[in-house]
Structures are given as C-alpha cells and as structure tokens.
Amino acid sequence: EYKIPQPIDIESRDKETILPLFTKKMQGDSYYYAVPKRSPLTFLVCKTKADKELLSGPLNVYFGGRYIGKTYLSEKKAGEEFHLSLGADREVMVKREKLKDKIKETYFGKIQRGTIVRELAYKIMVENLKDRSILLKVLDSIPVSKTDKIEVKDLKINPEPAKKNYLDKEGVMLWEYKLDPEQKQEISIEFVVTYPKGLLPMGL
C-alpha cells in the first residue's frame, strides 16, 4: 500500500493508471561508454547508488526533460551500485576501422598444409567534440581460441588497455580516457590467427 502525497484524478477505465508517488534526487557519476565493434554510437551512462532498497520493475528513463527509453531495474539493496544508460551522444565520436586483413594458405613449411594464416589490424579513433572534458570508456576484444586447431598470436596493442579480460571475460579489453575538448585518441590492435581451411573463427 502507498500513500499518495496529493489529490489526484483517476479515469474510470479498464486499464492501468500510472501515478506519481514521489520525486527523489540521487547523486551519481557520469561517463561515456563505447563498444565500437558493436555500434558506432557512444552512450552516456550514470553510475549511482540506491539509498534504500529499490524493488524490481520497469523503468522509464528521462534526461534533460527528454524521454530516453524504457528499461528494467532489477532489485537493488541499500548502498548497491547500478548503472543507467542516458542515451547516445553524437558529440563523442568513435570509429573502428579495419586496416589489414591479409590471408594466405600454407602448403609446406612448419605450419600444417591447408592452414590459413590471417593477419589482421584495426584502428579505433575517438574524439571529444564537446566544450568540456569527459571520461570515456572504450571496450573491444580479440578472438580467443577454445581449441588447439585455432591459434591467436603476435598480439600488438597500443596503448595497453587499462584492464584485460574485463569483467572476467577472456579477450575483452577496456581503455579509460579523460578527453579534453577536441582531443583525439587512437587505439591500434594487431594479431595473427591460424586455423584450418574451412573452419572460420568467430569474432574477426
């Protein structure tokens, strides 16, 4: 049971009625989040804490008076951190480009006949077009072999990520940058994958 803080009018109809119960301000830290392998968009995220227990349920998200979308909030205990996406922001640019994809098939030598040797190189460019500094987190990954038939080697990453195997996910890397206005940052990733002909690795 909830006590409504003010008189309200409810239509007589056979449908649910959404009622405002209270308004609460919560402190939080914002940052930008990009996964250029999956999307060319960068998203503004707010990290906050529940000041008291929050029950699970659907959540409508508004930012700057604009409706962002609907999500689902799982139950949160008092003091538990959670993140809210506040929508895409086109003033923080991100672009992932494939620079090299060189394939050759071996017929002799130290590598088994019929093996594909594939050299790949990627470049990620990020740029802050805002008139203020921002915190940006960039997520990317390299393929991880789950069988001895596939080998990933000669890995070169510049600059080194802040965290490898992020959130205990093998091959996932996280970079964190504080970008000043109009500042750019470049990330390069190179590696070689060898695999049998006809067995194409996922995630390339």
pTM for the full predicted model: 0.80
Nearest residue to 70 (alpha-carbon basis) of 2, 18, 11: 18
Nearest residue to 145 (alpha-carbon basis) of 111, 196, 187, 99: 196
The per-residue pLDDT string of the chain (204 residues; one tens digit each, 9 = 90 and over) reads 777 778 888 888 888 887 777 777 888 899 999 999 999 999 999 999 988 888 898 888 888 778 888 888 899 998 899 998 898 999 999 999 999 999 876 655 555 567 888 999 999 999 999 999 999 999 999 988 888 888 999 999 999 999 999 999 999 999 999 999 999 999 999 999 998 887 777 777
Q: Which residue has the tokens 């990453």?
A: 157
- How far is residue 127's CA from residue 185's CA, in Å, rounded to a whole number? 6
